[in-house]
Amino acid sequence: MAEQTDEILFERHGALGLVTLNRPKALNALSLPMIRGMHAQLDAWEADPAVTRVAVRGAGGRAFCAGGDIRYIYQCGKAGRFDDVFAFWSAEYALIARVQRFSKPYVSLIEGVVMGGGAGLSLHGPVRVASEGYDFAMPEVGIGLFPDVGMTYALPRLPGRVGTYLALTGARVGPGDALAVGLATHGSPAATFPAIIDALAEGGPVEAALGEGGAAPPTGPLVAQRALIDACFYGETVADILARLDADVSPFAAETAALIRTRSPSSLCIAREQMRRGPGLDFSEAVLTEYRIVTRVMRGHDFFEGVRAVIVDKDGTPHWRPETLAEVDHAAILSAFEPVDGPESRFT
């Protein structure tokens, strides 16, 4: 059994193991103790025949989970504590892989923000219930990172070019669009979540416990612009995609191109390569690929500059190196996907 902390709560309710991410002031961002504690608890519940299903929720109503504790990683890196930096990434990726291979029903009850590591905790489970406030994004290219936590596997498997669009823009997705493209599997108002938990605890069929869910939420720009997204994000390179967007006269295309141009050029090129390789990788291979990339990115400039600009100083003006797509060394991008020196974790 995992050690309980104030940041993450583990409870037994009949047949249900319930996880509550409990850092509401930090939008339930995952600390290293939370990550390690949840991994150990999933191991314990998988081995316990009395627990037949698990549910995960976030405290506070504003977020399911906004991701990993990026500020902690930033502080460790700036202090030169790279052993701590890589210990965090390794533990987070191992937890995401644990969720993906968990053998019992795993239900994510998603209210509010679900980004980064929060998307990893939910998207790789089989049941993802989106409330009316569901707000998904993988905005890592905006902080000099890349869409990780298994997104190399998951995003390319979304319909059409939706995954590439999400990877390169970091655009936010509401519940209607999430249900339409498969990011969410069910929709239900947040007010029904306590009843869902009670029904899951009774031990009956999981699908029955989820209820009817009410009227389907309206779709948004992801559905409305699917044809344009598929046509433009089919481009072989980020520059090709931008050229296709620039050639379109719609406001959506112009806004999307402008958004992409604010992102780290290196991160954009990494993300495009992830979307190209992802369909040919199994889940453990995809996560291992991400770990290889992150070990290189953490030794670079853009992540620390992006976090400074967006999270620490909040001036919103990151100075990327290189500044433009034309200056990106594509050989260096490809080398980031190669094996690291020494033994590698397999994330299986």
Phi, psi of 69 (to 5 degrees): -80, 80
The closest alpha carbon to 141, from 335, 35, 293, belongs to 293
Q: Which of 111, 135, 148, 302 is catalytic?
A: 148
Cα 32 from Cα 89, distance rounded (Å):
9
Kindly report the number of other CB atoms within 10 A of residue 290's CB atom: 27
Residue 163 known to be catalytic: no
Beta bridge partners of 65: 114
Residue 125 known to be catalytic: no
Cα 205 from Cα 55, distance rounded (Å):
14
Q: Which of 135, 140, 177, 305 is catalytic?
A: 140
The closest alpha carbon to 297, from 271, 272, 259, belongs to 271
Cα 107 from Cα 121, distance rounded (Å):
10
In the 8-state DSSP scheme, what is residue 324?
Answer: S
CA atoms within 13 A on the CB side of 170: 21
Cα 308 from Cα 291, distance rounded (Å):
22
Q: Which of 68, 112, 187, 278 is catalytic?
A: 68
Cα 20 from Cα 43, distance rounded (Å):
17
Beta bridge partners of 130: 110, 187
Q: Which of 67, 77, 112, 117 is catalytic?
A: 117
Query: Longest C-alpha distance within the chain, in Å?
Result: 59
Cα 93 from Cα 302, distance rounded (Å):
21
Cis peptide before 189 (omega within 30 of 0): no
Residue 344 known to be catalytic: no
Buried b (16+ CB within 10 A) or exposed e, 3-21: eeeebbebeeeebbbbbbb
Residue 148 known to be catalytic: yes
In the 8-state DSSP scheme, what is residue 242?
Answer: H
Contact 144, 318 (CB under 8 A): yes
Q: Which residues form the catalytic set? A: 68, 117, 140, 148
